[in-house]
């Protein structure tokens, strides 16, 4: 692949470009229908804010544009039925299709320029119900509202350093994310990353009881931290090459799905705020990644990882981001589908 240029090294502006503009991750967001009033955000405005200076690469996702497909299974251990009546939590094995990806709008990005990594996942039950999700490796999100994310994109795209200073002053929650981006360890494998669903959802059990939860996928692989400079030496596309070779030689890779249950008073509408330590957790199953396939003809190519596609027993909470993301994901899908002839596939693009 063509490299995207020199790697940013330091400074708040570079940090924002790497960690947020490129790594907005689960955050290509717009407002839901009730918010689409004149002067407010629309999916079109959010996608415009995400677009790089040269324009969006045709046929690609508008964010997390660089990725690779995988297939495998979700092995439910049965513990989840205590929390939700979703069939997917009943003990058994369910088909899974997903996508490892980088938080970047550039499908040719150098791996070491993207601070945020993501995992899109679709789990399907035999009755046709699906659970789709989009997770990222930061333990909390950069900002607290969709409007703030749009404002961050606009501010970080300006050459005037005062724009970012004004944004940070208005959105102090960004400081925690900036610290994570500068200090959290890097790895040289998708298999070694934990992926977090930062948004809150409501689980409903068989008796009608409700709990607000978040979930994460925690790797079974040993985590070996490296520096950004060391990752750069691995090559621009090393992450895709490494996960392909790892599974070919070492076999399937696994992540434990852990759900965290909120206590009363925990912030459920703000993904920039992590819940306190000590909250109840339940291990509900294991994601097993069995096969890697290139995206251009892979099974994840045409999946929209809309986080509001949920099985019975799971629904959205008061967190505005899932519905907001759904709005932009849908628009992004429509755009890349219309541009399919421009996408570099080896067979006819699907509609």
Q: Which of 36-40, 92-96, 180-184, 230-234 has the lowest mean pLDDT?
A: 36-40
pLDDT recorded at residue 159: 86
For residue 283, what is the enclosing H or E element? strand 281-293
Query: How would residue 84 be classed by pLDDT, with cut points 50, 70 and 90?
Result: very high
What's the whole-number mean pLDDT along residues 292-311?
96
Buried/exposed code over 131-155 (b: 16+ C-beta within 10 A; e: otherwise): bbbbbbbbebbbbbbbbbbbbbbeb
pLDDT recorded at residue 345: 62
d(CA 238, CA 295): 15
Region for residue 110 given its phi and psi (left: phi exceeds 0; alpha: psi -120 to 50; beta: otherwise): beta
Minimal CA–CA distance to 173: which of 194, 157, 151?
151
Is 150 an active-site residue?
no
Confidence (pTM): 0.88
pLDDT at 161 over 50: yes
pLDDT, averaged across the chain: 88
Q: Percent of the chain at pLDDT above 70?
A: 87
Higher pLDDT, 346 or 259: 259
What's the whole-number mean pLDDT along residues 214-231?
97
Query: How would residue 294 be classed by pLDDT, with cut points 50, 70 and 90?
Result: very high
Minimal CA–CA distance to 30: which of 332, 327, 336, 333?
327
The CB-based long-range contact list for 51-55 (8 Å cut-off, 24+ gap) reads 51/105, 52/105, 52/106
What's the whole-number mean pLDDT along residues 136-162?
93
Higher pLDDT, 256 or 349: 256
Q: What are phi and psi of 174, to 5 degrees?
A: -65, -25
Angle at 167 between CA 10 and CA 142, to 5 degrees: 70
Residue with tokens 């909250």: 279
pLDDT at 176 over 60: yes
pLDDT digits (tens, 9 = 90+) for 110-145: 999 999 999 999 999 999 999 999 999 999 999 999
Among candidate residues 60, 64, 150, 196, the one labeled active-site is 64
Q: What are phi and psi of 63, to 5 degrees?
A: -145, 160
pLDDT digits (tens, 9 = 90+) for 254-286: 999 999 999 999 999 999 999 999 999 999 999
DSSP code per residue over 37-102: -TTS--HHHHHHHHS-TT-PPTTS-SSS-EEEEEEEEEEE-SGGGGT---GGGSSEEEEEEEEEEE
Q: How many CA atoms lie within 13 A of 187 on its CB side?
A: 18
pLDDT recorded at residue 25: 35
Please name the residues in contact with 7: beta carbons below 8 A apart, sequence gap of 6 or more: 110, 112, 113, 228, 232
What's the whole-number mean pLDDT along residues 279-300?
97
pLDDT at 14 over 60: no
Higher pLDDT, 298 or 21: 298
Q: What are phi and psi of 147, to 5 degrees?
A: -60, -40
pLDDT digits (tens, 9 = 90+) for 318-337: 999 999 999 999 999 999 99
Start-to-end CA span in the chain (Å): 26
Beta strands 130-136; 117-124: pairing state: antiparallel
Helices (H), the chain: 12-16, 43-50, 146-156, 161-170, 174-183, 228-234, 238-250, 321-338
pLDDT digits (tens, 9 = 90+) for 18-72: 333 333 333 333 333 333 344 578 899 999 999 888 888 999 999 999 999 999 9
d(CA 105, CA 64): 6
């Amino acid at each position: 692949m063509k490299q995207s240029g020199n790697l940013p090294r330091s400074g708040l502006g570079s940090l924002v470009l790497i960690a947020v503009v490129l790594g907005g991750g689960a955050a290509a967001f717009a407002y839901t229908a009730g918010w689409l009033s004149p002067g407010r955000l629309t999916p079109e405005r959010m996608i415009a804010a995400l677009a790089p200076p040269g324009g969006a690469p045709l046929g690609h996702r508008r964010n997390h544009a660089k990725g690779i497909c995988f297939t495998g299974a979700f092995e439910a251990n049965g513990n989840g039925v205590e929390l939700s009546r979703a069939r997917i939590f009943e003990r058994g094995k369910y088909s899974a299709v997903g996508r490892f990806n980088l938080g970047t709008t550039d499908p040719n990005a150098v791996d070491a320029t993207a601070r945020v990594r993501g995992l899109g996942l679709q789990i399907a039950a035999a009755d046709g119900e699906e659970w789709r999700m989009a997770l990222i490796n930061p333990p909390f999100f950069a900002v607290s509202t969709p409007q703030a994310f749009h404002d961050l994109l606009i501010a970080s795209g300006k050459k005037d350093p005062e724009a970012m200073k004004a944004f940070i002053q208005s959105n102090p929650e960004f400081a925690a994310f900036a610290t994570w981006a500068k200090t959290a360890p890097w790895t040289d494998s998708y298999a070694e990353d934990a992926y977090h669903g930062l948004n809150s959802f409501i689980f409903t059990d068989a008796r009608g009881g409700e709990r607000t939860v978040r979930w994460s996928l925690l790797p079974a692989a040993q985590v070996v931290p490296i520096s950004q400079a060391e990752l750069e030496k691995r090559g621009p596309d090393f992450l895709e090459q490494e996960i392909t070779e790892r599974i070919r030689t070492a076999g399937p890779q696994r992540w434990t799905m852990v759900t965290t249950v909120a206590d009363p008073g925990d912030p459920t509408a703000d993904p920039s705020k992590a819940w306190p330590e000590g909250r109840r957790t339940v291990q509900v199953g294991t994601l097993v990644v069995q096969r890697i396939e290139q995206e251009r003809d892979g099974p994840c190519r045409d999946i929209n990882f809309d986080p509001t596609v949920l099985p019975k027993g799971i629904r959205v909470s008061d967190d505005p981001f899932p519905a907001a993301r759904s709005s932009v994901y849908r628009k992004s899908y429509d755009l890349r589908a219309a541009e399919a002839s421009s996408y570099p596939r080896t067979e006819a693009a699907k509609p």
